[in-house]
Structure 1
């Protein structure tokens, strides 16, 4: 059999049986994962590098596979390599991303390894909770419900039952060792995670109640020490073997019909008498008539009391009869089922691949992606969004996967004019829209009709962009430029967010539940893009975005066509510097205006200040609390009213002219993801004085801008640095990078990378 297998499980005991079984049926290329989460639920996990020696995979590719966090879903590159070398993937439900990514990237067989769940649950229910049902159906006939026990699918969802395949779980060594001596008259009971898992907490409490007055010890790893001297916690393998050999009896509590633990079989193998409750898996495995079986707790207490009292007749009856429970666990009794199962996988996978080869000759449907501007962005934010549209349009063509790009913005004729979008590539469609709010029942109904029959809403309201056409139904993915969303976007299509900053972490200014809505948008997105390491860390630590869904992408420089040769002679209108800002709280208006006051009144500042930006024309009349102090300073200071000019928001052509004739650009904001106005200034041969914070330091290093720094928390330092720029502006102008250097960061250079990142969720 030429199949190659990725066994993406970390369970130590299961690996000891299943990897050798795969080899026994002729599969010799087997990959096992090298990472697992540091979580209580993985107490039985470990890693094993031994199979790597047999893999005929280039070292560089194997390194990527070993570094991947498969339990988190892994990234596209790891899956690309997996798809190149392997035919079959085993996985377990731990997180939804693994199956989601397998459905997206993997072209082989995908086996859900089912060892059983509690009787109140089912695998279909877990799939619904994980929103994985659609991914299973997308995989279709390449998906298998790999049941470890032949009855598991009987009471599960029909679509799982239809894909069942029996791959019995066994023991690597199911032979009787008969090392038991029973010198300690005590019950040996196994119960891990008592303080960290309510399921095991209840089992522990019930056992203690039922066996009060009996001598016992409780084995099993404990993440938190239990205040009970009878709870052993973690012990070495040697100590565990000793306890198995010397404890008089093991009691197994479970009456779960679909799941069983390893330790009852360990006890049987060691020769220890096993007393167990009726109704569980052991009944199905041959235990229904065994003398160790008990229908009630009273019966169990009675039998255990006799065994602790050294009733040899009962002990011998139990020991001599219980070996039958090992029969179904012996490798030789499991092998044929594994051969039959993998013969079916081999045959069906070959047929599917043949069909795919035929279908691949058909013309591919062109992909369509929507880029959505969710709020009333203008100025640099709008220019950045347009550059993002260009990047996807150009990048898809550079990747020879030309896609249709739709740019969607709010339908507000007072806010946007056609000329605002003149820079869009000719092939990009533009659709104005309005947000439409859906109630929970409406959202569920819409998702049902879209094919998400098991989708479960988690919010009271959802939103969709209503463009009067198809509300994104004709698109394959949606990229939303920011996280400013009042409600979750209905996830009919995969959703990515471009998040530029988390200013609210440092300067709180949102009201009500706004902040939580924005954070929830990022956490629920299929992918989140950021452009600085500063925001990358905020996304992880503050927003709680999963690392596997977060990507740092290159900064895109908006096209800013200014010819330096025409700027050598300044106009005779006088010297000035340009302060670009807007009305947002993080723009640091009060400190900036106080700095201007000091600059003019105490430091005899020589250059005027011109202010431009969205919503700046009426700042002095604003009633916003963070702007009222600014207005008060202007009221009392005549020199500010004389030397500061409010230009408001300028058309691009006029802004370029005003910027080009400035002595320098002043960026006075307190903190954000950085402002591209300093890069635009560099294009025009204009140096910048900037607030000193991490994102601006990253931008300065990325583009080689050689900016002068000031402390945005100190108006006096800001004023001194304004004065310093009178002396340094010409020197810093000469230190600016050339226009060719700056254009190396343009859209054409990074477009393909943007498309490849977004393409992963399509």
Structure 2
């Protein structure tokens, strides 16, 4: 029996017959507090499932906590509150591989012993292969991370022999039996038919084939087919699901049951039901019944021809054969009797609890090694994108320290000194290290070798080429997690380590900025990622609806903005400002043509008096570019004296110079069509400068989070854009009074939002 200490178990299955037996076994070995899940998938595979509240009254945990557990979906994502309660009260979890990725949640969140309950798989597959479906390679990595808290809880002694070593060496035998293995011999056999159980004929190809094979192999025999049928069949001999009393009556009256399965690793319950009822069972050799003592039984058949002969005799009143089968087959119940299973359960649980005790002792003296996390800037980002990457690294660093789990954070950028000179990172905290790298593209053979060297040789090489970050040292294998700023990966990222993508937008859904092929590659990289982080609900929606990323993989984190409001060394406007500032770059979504059309209307029709100063990355080339979306600008400028006199191209300015220019502007202008939003409007507000912005979802979210009171315009309507420019010319000074205070902006400081970033990253470690 289990010792004096109270042990609580979460039996996260809903199989009715297995529950009756296994709850009984747990109580026999001294475990009396058992949680049973109250939600299961609406799927035909759960035809034998049911919900049982009877164990709730035995749980000595607060009712409000039990309510949370009962409302959680343990076959999917139960949520952080449910996991917190599970860790508070429970020691052991049983689970099945219904959804392979469920194992990820259990491994990440549960601190007790984890039992993969194994009832056997079809011979062509295994539990190891299902875990390998968890992309990419996470199943094995997660199981290995559990150490001696993981157990392959096999219902039959041989199941671990079919598994990879990382599962097979952690096996514990917890035999499956019958809640009631007593013979209830009230069989009459008056209905001369073959009873054959075959569910899901209309919706499951596996069972459909079994049904078709049965009809062919036993053509001419009277039969009745039981089993739940979610889709009605045209066969009048298929009864479908029956209430228990009708099912038992059929067992009493049918002449013989035929069991077809030759699966060596799995068996159904209905052959045992037939034996208990006293019904003669004719079964095929080579299956699990052989292991349970059926090799020499008269009901065993090596061929279908032999099965036909025996069934024909039974249907034709060969009572000698009938009684021989009935009297001999009861031995198959012996391994299923509770009293014959109890010893193995007692021994198995002793091992499980010893492993749990060892793991808990280690928790008292934990490994103090810091996590090391690298933030990749995958392409030559500058301006706001570079600033966002630096802020991301700072947020992870600060969030980890706030959680008393200080991580080492590395910022990795392309090894290009002209693009990334040292002074570009003067604002980066000294505890965040920089590491230059280049992307290296390798073929599948070299990729496989790299995986082998990393100890991950079981990942199938599905692509012809992969890209690897090459830092000249060890390809960032010294890091526990890779965080990539954006999904701009032209080849699959070889997952030498788990990685997270931070995706700010899906512009390609709205503007033709990517080819179909490149778009597919970028989206594929997000599907393989451990997690996708977004900063707006708008992008979350695009990630689900456009990119098809499962919602469980997506986490929304707050938008990050530099501490613009802390900079006091900025010029303050004196007198009336002479210009407004348009900060942009040369990307197509920046809406240059409509912006120039609006400027033309503003100056020529509305008599605009403020100059337009253009600044941003590569804007010094805005009138020289050969890009199709920029070609009209020079012609428009040359055709209008007002534009030539009032539009000034400042180009890319040093940050301090840019801020001085912005602080002296009447307002900031943001005429882009759509994107992830610009933080330049926040910077402007911190400097006391109002902004006129295009009206689109991401900017609305920025406006709400930072309380900016932006003025809006329609970026597709140059007339409205010009009208709003004129409005801002008149009202810019009064709109300064609508800007948020420094104290209000500071509420969105890095210190206040970093925790959300660490929580999102920590869940992937």
Establish whether TM, by shorter chain, passes 0.5.
yes
- Which residue is 1:167 aligned to? 174
Shift of 1:555: 1.4
- Verify the 8 A CA contact 1:129 1:456 in the aligned structure 2: no
Match of 2:103 among 99, 103, 109: 99
* Equivalent position to 1:595, from 591, 595, 598: 598
Sort the Cα spacing of 1:556 and 1:139 in 2 relative to 1 into closer, same or farther, 3 A: same
Of 236, 242, 250, 2:257 maps to 250
Does residue 17 (structure 1) correspond to residue 24 (structure 2)? The answer is no
Partner secondary structure for residue 662 of structure 1: coil
The question of whether the paired residues in 2 share the 8 Å contact of 1:73 and 1:95 is answered with no
CA-to-aligned-CA distance 1:115-152 (integer Å, 9 cap, x gap)? 11122223333344443233333323332221101222
Distance of 2:30 and 2:634 partners within structure 1: 80
| Cα displacement (A) at 1:285 | 1.6
The answer for the alignment partner of 1:417 in structure 2 is: 421
Distance in 1 of aligned mates of 2:38 and 2:719: 55
Contact 2:536–2:556 (CA under 8 A) maintained in structure 1: yes
2:505 aligned residue = 501
Q: Structure 1 residue aligned with 2:720, among 695, 717, 721?
A: 717
The alpha carbon displacement at 1:22 in A equals 0.8
Alignment partners' CA distance in 2, 1:302 and 1:124 = 40
Deviates more, 1:719-728 or 1:176-185: 176-185
Q: In 2, Cα distance between the equivalents of 1:640 and 1:534?
A: 35
> Corresponding residue for 1:543?
547
* Worse-superposed segment, 232-241 or 159-168: 232-241
Whether 1:670 and 2:677 are equivalent positions in the alignment is no
1:121 partner SS: coil
Q: Which residue of 1 aligns with 2:150?
A: 143
CA distance in 2, matches of 1:35, 1:626: 54
Q: How do residues 116-127 of structure 1 correspond to structure 2 at under 5 angstroms?
A: 116-127=120-131
Q: Distance in 1 between matches of 2:39 and 2:604?
A: 63
| Gap change, CA 1:209 and 1:643, over 3 Å in 2 | farther
Are 1:336 and 2:340 matched, yes or no? Answer: no
Match of 1:641 in 2: 644
2:565/2:746 contact within 8 Å kept:
no
**1:446 partner SS:** helix
Q: Which residue of 1 aligns with 2:586?
A: 583
Over 3 Å counting, the alpha-carbon distance change for 1:355 and 1:594 in structure 2 is closer
Shift of 1:260: 0.5
Deviation at 1:288, TM superposition (A): 2.2
How far off is 1:276 after superposition? 1.5
The one of 510, 525, 532 equivalent to 1:521 is: 525
> Using the alignment, how far apart are the partners of 1:396 and 1:480 within structure 2?
18
What is the Cα deviation at residue 183 of structure 1?
4.9
Q: CA RMSD in A?
A: 2.7
1:622 aligned partner: 625
Tell me the SS of whatever aligns to 1:625.
coil
CA shift for structure 1 position 665 = 1.9
Secondary structure, in 3 states, of the residue corresponding to 2:623?
A: helix
How far did residue 370 of structure 1 move? 0.9
1:562/1:684 contact within 8 Å kept: no
Return the offset for 1:79. 3.9
Look up the SS of the partner of 2:55 in the other structure. helix
- Go from structure 1 to structure 2 and tell me whether the alpha carbon gap of 1:372 and 1:61 turns closer, same or farther (over 3 Å shift): farther
Partner residue, 2:456: 452
Deviation at 1:434, TM superposition (A): 0.7
Q: Which residue in 2 is equivalent to 1:56?
A: 60
Residues 139-182 of structure 1 show CA distances to partners (whole Å, capped at 9, x for unaligned) of 23332221101222234434433322211111222233345454
Select which of 409, 412, 422 maps to 1:408.
412
Equivalent residue in structure 1 for 2:360, among 353, 365, 368: 353
Residues 669-691 of structure 1 show CA distances to partners (whole Å, capped at 9, x for unaligned) of: 22222221221121122222222
1:291 matched to which residue of 2?
A: 298
Gaps of 5+ in 1: none
Per-residue deviation at 1:257? 1.0
C-alpha distance 636-483 of structure 1, shift in aligned 2 (>3 A): same
Give 1:552's aligned residue: 556
1:236, 1:379 → 2: CA distance? 69
Write out per-residue CA displacement over residues 432-469 of structure 1, whole angstroms, 9 at most, x where no aligned residue: 11111222122222122222232223322222221223
Q: Which moved more, 1:181-190 or 1:87-96?
A: 181-190
The equivalent position to 1:375 in structure 2, one of 372, 375, 379, is: 379
Query: Residues 213-256 of structure 1, C-alpha deviation per residue, up to 9 Å, x if partnerless?
Result: 33334333344444544444445445544544444432211011
**Distance in 1 of aligned mates of 2:562 and 2:764:** 25
TM-score by length of 1: 0.92
Deviations 1:650-705 (A, max 9, x none): 22112212222222222222222222122112112222222222222222222211
| Cα offset, 1:738, TM superposition | 0.6
Aligned length: 758
